[in-house]
Amino acid sequence: MCRYARVDENGFVIGTSNLSGEVSASDMILVDEDFDITNKRWNGSSWESYTPPEPPEPEPTQLDRMEA
Q: What is the pLDDT of residue 18?
A: 94
Residues of the chain predicted below pLDDT 50 = none
Q: What percent of the chain has pLDDT over 90?
A: 81
Check residue 46 and give its pLDDT: 96
Q: Which residues lie across from 40 on neighbouring strands?
A: 49
Cβ count within 10 A of residue 25: 8
Rounded to two decimals, the pTM is 0.73
Contact between 30 and 2 under an 8 Å Cβ cutoff? The reply is yes
Our CA angle for 62, 64, 67, nearest 5°, is 110
